[in-house]
Amino acid sequence: MGEVRLSMIELVRDTYRYRELIWALALKELKIRYKRSVLGFMWALLNPALLMVVLTLVFSTIMRFNIPHYAVFLLSVLLPWTFFSQSLSYAVEAIVANGDLIKKIAVPKLVFPMAAVVSNIINLLLSLIPLALLVPLLRHPFYWTWLYLPVPLLALAIFTLGMTFFFAAANVYYRDVAHILQILLSAWFYLTPIIYPLELIPARYQWIFKLNPIIYVINGFRLAVYYGMLPKAPSIVASFVCAFLSLFLGFAIFRKYQDNFVFYV
Amino acid sequence: MSSSPVAIRLQNVTQRFRVIQERPDTVRELFSKFFRHRSSYHDFEAVKNASFEVPKGQMLGLIGRNGSGKSTILKIVSGVYRPSAGTVQVQGSLAPLIELGAGFHHELTGRENILLNGLLMGYSKREILARQQSIIDFAEIGDFIDSPVKQYSSGMYMRLAFAVATEVDPEILVIDEILAVGDAGFQDKCFERIRNFRRAGKTILMVTHNMAQVAQHCDRAILLDKGSITADGLPDDVIEVYKSLLALEAAAAH
């Protein structure tokens, strides 16, 4: 327990100390992602916007569900999920990809997974803009509960950060991790009520799905954007318990092995 | 020498590397290795029980053959490696010139790279922006500063990297073999800057294969052989020991 407390102190201290570096690395990530494209940064908005158009067309004409405004139903959770899976996909390589740097400069290792998460948070925030435009366009009510979104956003960011620390560290030792992660993420995607509502699962199996920590974390998004409701207190508590457990464990593991990364990258 | 404060102190430092020998030639071998839980490695000591102190203001040259542990010591001093055993103390801010432009990204402009590289070396944004203009001036980059560095000539690239690494006014400078780059004019400029550092009383630790540089610039030299310190003293004396070591080696080879 003392170990965990120590690593949390270190995490907060180093995040603050290297905030400028983390921010610069995150911006670099985005700049490089959109560089050499004519529309540049606009793609951060266009990409989710176009995805929304496709999804709306598909689900309003070809595959019709019994869920009104299915596109809003789906996107309210798909966008946070995309943030989660993209952060992980980027961050799993964060240490290995910066191996040359780590071997030459004494740089704090935690900045790399953090920068990956920060750059994807920026993407997520930008993708909420086209969603906010789509909602009235589809004549779905625009609820005041949108104002609640910072809370699930915070829980999601903390949860994601913890996972990225774990996967980035594990991938240094076993490069198979990056491949396993992709399979894991796609299985996880279908096991999480994203494209379907949790109610679709037979009642006696629902408890299994409720063991999935991320449902508490992303639940708030769907409630606020689609249903215009706020999650109940136990659900909010559960989301932050999952988020901080992920961060504690993920960073404790990362911290334990970070001095040896340089020998394996 | 003992009266002046110490800038760098190494005590009984050993650096061990785990060398993994896995080059499976066949799929079967790969599988058998996998199930035997990768047992094929050995430990290699790049630096063995090394101790030395560098007083503030001294310029120390590390010499020795390839693989003698010089660069490993630089990486230990600059904090890239945490040594397997022993302690390292560094007093004051340190700028590593281990590989120039290590933090540069080709798609970013010179200006963006100055900021990113400076932050990677541990300086604050304010410190970097305050020195930005003199970095650009020293590197003689001109209008190219707002172009991506992939469009730079290798000379421009090195000049910018050197300028970023040295403009920030470190107390200790760690240099690895980098002064072998650039044209003669730029090398002069680099050495001029290093002389200025010395005049300002900064500590310099450098690795080089150029004995003339050691004899001309350093106050002291340390000879490393197979990870151990074999000579430590005035540059001319240590260079003599090194030369006889090389001669002995050559004789043994015949």
Q: Looking at the 3D structure of chain A, how many domains does it have?
A: 1
Find the length of chain B: 254
DSSP-assigned letter for residue A141: -
Which alpha helices (H) appear in chain B, and where do they start and end? 27-35, 70-77, 110-120, 125-139, 154-167, 184-199, 211-217, 235-253
Question: Is the CB of residue A265 less than 8 Å from the CB of residue A99?
Answer: yes
Domain range enclosing A129: 2-264
CA–chain centroid gap for B26, Å, is 39
Q: Measured between CB atoms, which of A21, A24, A35 is closest to B107?
A: A35
CB pairs below 8 Å between A and B: how many? 52
- In terms of C-beta density within 10 A (0-12 exposed, 13-18 middle, 19 or more buried), how is residue A13 classed? exposed
Q: CATH 3.40.50.300 in chain B, residues?
A: 1-92+172-183+194-254
pLDDT on residue B54: 96
Q: Measured between CB atoms, which of B80, B99, B116 is closest to A106?
A: B80
CB contact (8 A) between residue B108 and residue A28: yes
CA-wise closest residue to B83 among B25, B191, B10 = B10
Can you tell me which residue has the tokens 């909420």?
A128
Which long-range contacts link B117-123 to residues 24+ away (Cβ below 8 Å)? B117/B161, B117/B164, B117/B165, B118/B164, B118/B168, B119/A20, B119/A21, B119/A24, B120/A21, B120/A101, B120/A105, B120/A107, B121/A105, B121/B95, B121/B96, B121/B164, B121/B165, B121/B168, B122/B93, B123/B168
State the Cα–Cα distance between residues A211 and A220, nearest whole angstrom.
17
Q: Is A13 on the interface with B (CB under 8 A)?
A: no
Residue in chain A lying closest to B176 (CA):
A104
Superfamily of domain B1-92+172-183+194-254: P-loop containing nucleotide triphosphate hydrolases (3.40.50.300)
β-pair partners for B41:
B20
Rg value, chain B, Cα: 21
Q: What is the pTM of this model?
A: 0.88
The Cβ-side half-sphere exposure at A146, using a 13 Å CA radius, reads: 13
Q: What is the pLDDT along chain A (265 residues), one digit of tens a residue?
A: 677 788 889 999 999 999 999 999 999 988 888 876 777 778 878 888 888 888 878 877 776 677 888 888 999 999 999 999 999 999 999 999 999 889 888 889 999 999 999 999 999 998 899 899 889 988 899 999 999 999 999 999 999 999 999 999 999 998 889 999 999 999 999 999 998 888 888 889 888 888 999 999 999 999 999 999 999 999 999 999 999 999 999 999 999 999 989 988 8
For chain B, residues with pLDDT lower than 50 are: 1-2
Instruction: Name the pairing type of β-strands B220-225 and B228-233.
Output: antiparallel
Contact list in B for residue A265 (CB cut-off 8 A) is: none
The distance in angstroms from the start CA to the end CA of chain A is 30
pLDDT on residue B1: 46
Q: CATH 1.10.8 in chain B, residues?
A: 99-170
Q: Is B103 on the interface with A (CB under 8 A)?
A: yes
CA-wise closest residue to B164 among B103, B205, B107 = B103
- In terms of C-beta density within 10 A (0-12 exposed, 13-18 middle, 19 or more buried), how is residue B216 classed? exposed
Instruction: Name the pairing type of β-strands B94-97 and B41-55.
Output: unpaired
Region of B64 please: left (phi>0), alpha (psi -120 to 50) or beta: left
Rg value, chain A, Cα: 19
Q: Is A103 on the interface with B (CB under 8 A)?
A: yes
Find the length of chain A: 265
Q: Is A31 on the interface with B (CB under 8 A)?
A: yes
Contact list in B for residue A25 (CB cut-off 8 A) is: 116
Pull the structure tokens for residue A184: 């894991």
pLDDT on residue A155: 97
Write the class of the CATH domain B99-170: mainly alpha
State the Cα–Cα distance between residues B35 and B24, nearest whole angstrom.
13
